[in-house]
A and B are shown apart, each in its own frame.
Chain A
Amino acid sequence: MKICVASGKGGTGKTTVATSLAASFGEKIQLADCDVEAPNASIFFDVSEAEKEDIFLFIPQIDQSKCTGCKECERVCRYNALAVVLNKVMIFPTLCHSCKGCLYICPEKAISDGQKMLGSIYSKQINENIKIISGDLKTGEMASPMLIGSVQKKLDPNIHSIIDSPPGTSCPAIAAMKDCDYVILVTEPTPFGLSDLKLAVETSRLLGKPCGIIINKHMEEIRIIHEYANEANVPILMEIPYSRDLAVDYSKGNLVVSTRSGLMKQFKNTLDSIISENLGA
């Protein structure tokens, strides 16, 4: 089963939840960091000597000796990534979406795969149970969803997976969420958290995914998330109390469950029930 940890708003505690779930499960599990623009899950594990694989995408490479300057490539490209100037094709790699339209259209077969590096994927079996797979987008590259897809292709479908998603509700978040079986939405009890939670619930519903909420930085007296959850009929899976102590632990790169056995048990129970209630559903 694939479980996505998402949020809408950034900084609500996705990585805390994803790493804690993986570390608490006590059985074989894969943790995929799909927040490729700001990947942080690896910080909480020893990932020295992780296996590294670079990911490449198609970009056009022009054989100028074959090119006749017919401009067909320029016409077919909807992203303005090619322009013909004085019978020479100029390429703007950051605009290219790797659709290969130019490759197929060129009547002179003057275009081939020029391969641009998109980013890297790091994989490591941390211990008997946890395997981490982490994507890291190269500076200046923009095609996060493509790299997120590549990270997900590395997952063994026979082992449960936790996906640490990027924030937001646009293409990168969708890419992380769309193949998952369940979505955990991490939020905080502030107007910002609530506003973005609503968008995230809409997103998981649009994709037809069951979802539940984990409230981070929970304070007993603030009920805005509970009120919304009740109204929108979304279950609250867990509450993580507001604690400066926990924030300090996180800041140091420590797994917050490693010194908190009660919290660890809560995470394990949460994950166990999600799996038993949704597996084969």
Chain B
Amino acid sequence: MKELVIISGKGGTGKTCVSASFARLCEDKKILVDADVDAANLHLIIEPLDSEQSSFTSGVKAKINKDKCIECGLCIERCEFDAISDDFVVNEIDCEGCGVCHEFCPEKAIDLIPEESGKWFVSKTDSGTMVHAKLNIGGENSGLLINHLRKRAKQEAEKQNASIIISDGPPGTGCPATSSITGADHVLIVTEPTKSGYHDMIKAKDLCDFLKVPVMILVNKYDLNPEITDEIENYANKSNAVFMGKIPFDDDFPKAIMNKKAPVEYSNGQGAEVLKIIFKKVMENINKN
């Protein structure tokens, strides 16, 4: 069983369009993951028919018991996150749940309260099982939640004898991106030919190298700037990444999304046709490695 994660560095390059299209094109037994737990969108295209929901509790928040507190100020002094106000109230948004205040309070006046940071779902869809989540607003530990989703997806894959996990990843190159690709078999970076897209694609590729995950690269809306597309292709060919191809700017893509369809099921336009060829190449690359 192989795990493919689709990331981008820069947001809005088309990760979910590509993921949803792959989900529709893949005829093998598969498990889908939406690892963008901050702003999950895959379920808007691949709609859950039936979901099993669980609460995700991780981490704690400090709470000061006013009856015991003698206002000595040690908690304020030692909180590295400036989460305790001058009148001894913990700001839940700033609190990292490190427990330092609880540990060192001489009056044992600070409790640590477990916190629900989101919900996660195992859903039936007409493209197979999808594991996804909704992080609460300002929720901590998105990285842990992503690990959790991936673990659950692997269990499902084993149970159902699936040959591939297709994961729609988060943007960026920090904690959520790292959690979504650590130990994965393959990463596909979807980028766009803009200076920003190129710059962030390199940052994402560096992260994959750092984590020793092999990379494939795909350019979306390539004709927006053919020169930068060439630069990206050259970059891929000079590095150890595999260049998968380029999708033209296609008005049918936003139209497909408006209609809550993957581009490949909405139209037979040029973009959709190229995407079908790229999907085949990606699967061939995965299966030979």
Contacts and interface: CB of A to CB of B under 8 A. Distances in A.
A115 interface: no
Contacts of B172: 10, 35, 37-38, 144, 166-168, 172
Contacts of B8: 10
A11 B12 contact: yes
Nearest to B134: A199
A196 B39 contact: yes
A16 to B, nearest CB: 9
Given A190-B254, A190-B257, A252 B195 contact: yes
A207 B91 CA distance: 11
Interface stretch (B21-29, B48-56, B99-107, B281-289): B99-107
A30 interface: no
Contact of A10 (B12, B139, B140): B12
B44 interface: yes
A97 interface: yes
A261 interface: no
A238 to B, nearest CB: 19
A191 B137 contact: no
Contacts of B142: 170-171
A203 B38 CA distance: 11
A20 interface: no
A79 B98 CA distance: 8
Contacts of A36: 174
Interface stretch (B158-166, B202-210, B234-242, B266-274): B202-210
Contact of A171 (B13, B41, B140): B140
B210 A140 contact: yes
Interface of A is mostly: loop
A250 interface: yes
Contact of A167 (B11, B100, B199): B11
A50 interface: no
Interface size class of A (residues with CB under 8 A): 35 or more
B96 interface: yes
Given A244-B224, A244-B249, A251-B194, A169 B171 contact: no
A207 B44 CA distance: 27
B264 interface: no
B80 A168 contact: no
Contacts of A12: 11-12
Given A97-B98, A169-B39, 10 more contacts: A9-B12, A37-B171, A101-B99, A101-B103, A104-B104, A105-B103, A137-B174, A142-B178, A169-B135, A191-B44
Interface of A: 7-12, 15, 35-38, 40, 43, 58, 76, 78-79, 97-101, 104-105, 137, 139-144, 166-174, 178, 190-192, 195-196, 199, 202-203, 206-207, 217, 222, 244, 247-248, 250-253
Interface of B: 8-13, 16, 37-39, 41, 44, 59-60, 78, 80-81, 93-94, 96-100, 103-104, 135, 137-140, 142-143, 170-178, 192-197, 199-200, 203, 206-207, 210-211, 221, 224-225, 228, 249, 254, 257-258, 260
30 contacts: A7-B11, A10-B8, A10-B10, A10-B171, A11-B12, A12-B11, A38-B173, A38-B200, A40-B195, A58-B80, A97-B96, A99-B81, A99-B100, A104-B78, A140-B207, A144-B175, A166-B172, A167-B171, A168-B171, A168-B172, A169-B39, A170-B37, A170-B139, A174-B93, A178-B94, A191-B41, A199-B38, A206-B138, A251-B193, A252-B195
